[in-house]
Each structure stands twice: as structure tokens, then as C-alpha cells.
């Protein structure tokens, strides 16, 4: 895919965080966290692990880091998850909400969220 198809509004904001996983010099996975000023939750998007590195725990580790950042900001996370990735998010403590909807070219998606654990009283 061309570079323009993977760059989005908000990527360059000072409040946006891009996490990248490396194996040596190889970038193996990535995810972006977008903090819309008006929103109570942080949007997670662009979650991907290089095909020959999938199934090794890299995605779970990236999600774990994203969840740590969310905890530090005391905000929940949300994303539009591909249907094929819903179980991946569920295994990592996320829940789906709302109906499935179509994103052209990519396919069926559903909104999912991860809530920061309740703080000790």
C-alpha cells in the first residue's frame, strides 16, 4: 500500500503517541494512540504486526504498553476493530459494543473498549 493510505489526520499532533516494536533493526509491529482533546477516551488505531512476526506476543505487548499509557492518563481506550481481530482484543481485556459496520476495502468492524481497572479506594 502507498504511504498516503497509512497516514491519518492527527498523526503529527504533539499529543499523539506512536509505538513501534523492533526485532533488531526490523520494525515488526506498531500502534497509534490518539488523544482527541474533547474525548474522555484515547483512540487506538493502526494496530498491526508484520505477517511473519504474528502470533509471537508482539501485538499483546503493544496493547499492554498502550494500556499502561491509558492508565497514566486515567483514560479508557477505544478502537474500531476488524472483525478478524475481535478475539485478539477480547483476549487482552477489551469488550465490543454497538453493531458491526463496514469500512470500505478493509471490511466489517466493531467498536471496542478497554477500561482502566478501578483504582483502590
Binding site for ligand COA (CB under 6 A): 47-49, 54-60, 81-82, 84-85, 87-88, 91
Report the residue closest to ligand COA, judged by CB: 59
CA distance 25 to 36: 32
Q: How far is the CB of 119 from ligand COA (least distance, A)?
A: 26
Instruction: Pick the closer one to ligand COA by CB: 49 or 77.
Output: 49
CB 40 within 8 A of CB 76: yes
CB 59 within 8 A of CB 67: no
Q: How far is the CB of 43 from ligand COA (least distance, A)?
A: 12
Amino acid at each position: 500500500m502507498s504511504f498516503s493510505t497509512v497516514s491519518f489526520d492527527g498523526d503529527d499532533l504533539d499529543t499523539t503517541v506512536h509505538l513501534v516494536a523492533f526485532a533488531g533493526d526490523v520494525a515488526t509491529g506498531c500502534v497509534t494512540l490518539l488523544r482527541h482533546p474533547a474525548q474522555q477516551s484515547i483512540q487506538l488505531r493502526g494496530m498491526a504486526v508484520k505477517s511473519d512476526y504474528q502470533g509471537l506476543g508482539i501485538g499483546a505487548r503493544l496493547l499492554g504498553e498502550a494500556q499502561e499509557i491509558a492508565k497514566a492518563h486515567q483514560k479508557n481506550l477505544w478502537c474500531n476493530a476488524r472483525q478478524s481481530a475481535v478475539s485478539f482484543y477480547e483476549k487482552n481485556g477489551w469488550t465490543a459494543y454497538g453493531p458491526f459496520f463496514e469500512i470500505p476495502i478493509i471490511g466489517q468492524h466493531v467498536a471496542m473498549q478497554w477500561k482502566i481497572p478501578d483504582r483502590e479506594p
